[in-house]
Amino acid sequence: MCGIAGIFAKSEDAQEHLGSRLADMLVVLTDRGPDSAGAAIYGEPVAEGAVRLSLLDPSGASRDWEAVAARIGGFGPARVLADRRDQATLVVDGVGDAAERTGTDGTLALRAFLAEHLPDLLVLSAGSSIETVKRAGRPGAPGGLIETVGLRGMRGSHALGHTRMATESRVTTEHSHPFSTGPDLCLVHNGSLSNHNRLRRLLRRQGVSFATDNDSEVAAGYLTWRFLEGDDLAAALDRAVADLDGFFTFAIGTRDGFAVMRDPVGCKPAVLAETDDWVAMASEHRAIAVLPGAEDARVWEPDPGRAPRSGVPGETAISRFWMIEASRSELPPWK
């Protein structure tokens, strides 16, 4: 049992207090996942051709992130935005130039550089807007996620959060959610997958790498593979509902919003709510009830996904999922 939370800001006030409101939701969901917590915040995009990069030293030791930035300078100029001891967020310039030189996706080229030159570091996320933070332990406790990463002071357009109760792998910061699924993409998961070992082997043959033995990372890796094969989010989720065997509620973050999808049986809970200021989702309504204006929100439960019907010639996978998003022109301006 884990807790999932997501919030999408529809007003300047909601953007300004996004981190604080997500923190309140994670505290409520701690009893669903007391082992660790994490969040992905989507903030103001970096300059064109640059990448916002979130890194973790899995040893837990304090890292000289300025030295790391200097080492990344062999790929492109880098600077530290936030130093959080064992993890940091940097901005790397020149990624667009690298893409032109190599003929590949610039973010993938950056990841390959890091794997070769800084193999002891774990990439939490990379993109123009996403910033990912994680921490083992209860999120609201002293030394927990909320305090150590300054979550309450973070602002953005939307965010996903997760509290984890470990059932099939170790309790570490790197095993925490969210898991990155590509540029500006991430996944949080409540549930369990029964075919993750087989899928992990198949995905490794397709070039997808994994940092942990967490089953949820396999779901993230599956989406990474589908995106590399050319699927958009809708097509990838259509395939996922058929290929991922187990019980789940997924929330998948994108640059413009987040998607929510449940397994075909609807075994794992999810609830959505909307006001004039925000749209939110959570594993339980009580996590939404702490948000301002929640008492007047429109509330609904997303439908379960539907796997393809067997024996129907030519029928493709159909899934139901909710996409909460807006174009950048529709969001409140960054101030």
Phi then psi for residue 196, to 5 deg, are -70, -30
**Which CA distances in Å does 161 have to 17, 36, 201, 257?**
15, 11, 28, 13
Rg for the chain (alpha carbons), in Å? 19
* Residue 145 backbone phi and psi in degrees, to 5: -55, -50
Pairing of strands 185-193, 179-182: antiparallel
3-state helix, strand, coil in the chain (%, to 5): 30, 30, 40
Looking at residue 93, what DSSP letter applies? -
**DSSP helix/strand/coil, 49:** coil
Catalytic entry in 2, 91, 92, 186:
2
Q: Which residues pair with 135 in a beta bridge?
A: 37
Can 186 be counted among the known catalytic residues? Answer: no
Read off the tokens for 214.
């967490």
Q: Which residue has the tokens 């927990």?
A: 144
CA distance 221 to 171: 20
Query: According to DSSP H, which parts of 277-330 are helical?
Result: 285-288
Asked whether 6 and 14 are in contact (CB, 8 A), the reply is no
Catalytic residues, by residue number, are 2
